[in-house]
Amino acid sequence: MNTPIVLVTGASGFVGQHVVRTLCDDGFAVRAGIHSPHGGAFSGAADTVEGVPIDLLDRTSLMKALEGVAGVYHFAALVDSSATREQLVQINGEGTKNVWKCAAESGVRRALYCSSTAVYGLLARANGMITEDVRPRAIEPYGYSKLMGERAAMEIAAHTGLHTTIIRPVAIFGPGEHTPFGRSFRGAVPSKLLVAGGFQHRRFSYVHVEDVAGAAVHLMRKEIPCGQIFNIAVNEPIAYEEAFQAYIRVLGNAGRSYARIRLLGLISALLHTLPPAALGMANRLGEGFMFRVWHPGFDLNYSSGKLLETGFAFRWKEFEEVLASCVEKGRA
């Protein structure tokens, strides 16, 4: 019996690499779609991974990559915070439409689209946790572009019968995390005090990259109706104060090379004991040596109850363990 071939777009990306690894561990033959011919190396999986260059806007490359494919995991996306709205919509919206059209024409049976909780928008506040029933109200460019991708996939699925599932991960943590906030946070950590003014008594949702990959593979194997949408988030949001203390503990166990970062972290922790008015004054001192941890929308909380009902279990539930996994190897 031949091993089914699955295509992963964005296979060399932060999440895509973990999806490839998870599929290989589960015995799938993986076709890894990468934007550049030199864009990906999948250690330990040479026998089961075939790298193929693809361009989401090039139908020819997509049709070639989809030959003989039974399932598609679409993780390729533009996440560059400096990209224009038009660029984001072209890649995340039109690019997704191209993938679904070509997949349907190629006889692909199942496809999964990695969207984002950004589609809910900053106005999508609910009394409690945000579930998949909350109407998306994305206004900012990235969330809007991912919502356009969702709608394109759903429309084509309705017309062609291509079984489609959509996942909406929250803030993703893990080794090599590269979101715009993650990059700026890592750049700030070695040299700036971390000021979290505005986050007192607030909570945030999170998920580890390995759980995003695991949930994607899990859902593609389940017999669920076409068109289902799932939030991907640890179901218990964590308080910012608690997360900050976990951050300090992780730095404390990280070794000598983190001494400067640890000192800044301890000073930051002392700042957070100041009265709100004094902390607000510290916040206004400037970004030159302060990094504001909390931004609008970071305290929206998302429910993963629907995902848990399918039998999925999160491996990374403790935030401190999630943070510890992000510490660079060899620096301890």
- Regarding predicted confidence, which is higher, 329 or 168? 168
- Residues 199-248 pLDDT 10s: 566 788 889 999 999 999 999 999 999 999 999 999 899 887 787 778 77
Q: What is the pTM of this model?
A: 0.85
- What pLDDT does 136 receive? 92
Strand stretches in the chain, DSSP E? 5-9, 29-34, 49-53, 69-74, 110-114, 163-169, 172-173, 193-195, 203-204, 207-208, 228-232, 238-239, 290-292
Q: What is the pLDDT of residues 45-56, one digit of tens each?
A: 556 799 999 999
Q: What is the pLDDT of residue 177?
A: 64
Split at pLDDT 50, 70, 90, the class of 325 is confident
Range with lowest mean pLDDT among 22-26, 176-180, 282-286: 282-286
Contacts of 158-161 with C-beta under 8 Å, sequence gap 24+, read 158/227, 160/104, 161/104, 161/226
Q: Helices marked H in 190-313 — which ranges?
A: 209-221, 240-252, 259-271, 276-283, 305-308
Higher per-residue confidence, 164 vs 237? 164
For CATH 3.40.50.720, list the domain ranges present in the chain.
5-177+205-236+301-317
- Mean pLDDT value across residues 118-126: 75
Residue 194: what pLDDT? 54
For the ranges 20-29, 91-100, 132-141, 174-183, the lowest mean pLDDT is seen at: 174-183
5-177+205-236+301-317 has which fold? Rossmann fold (3.40.50)
- The per-residue pLDDT for range 244-284, each reduced to its tens digit, is 778 777 766 766 555 666 666 666 666 666 666 665 665 55
pLDDT at 70 over 80: yes
Q: Which two tokens stand for residue 33?
A: 């779609």
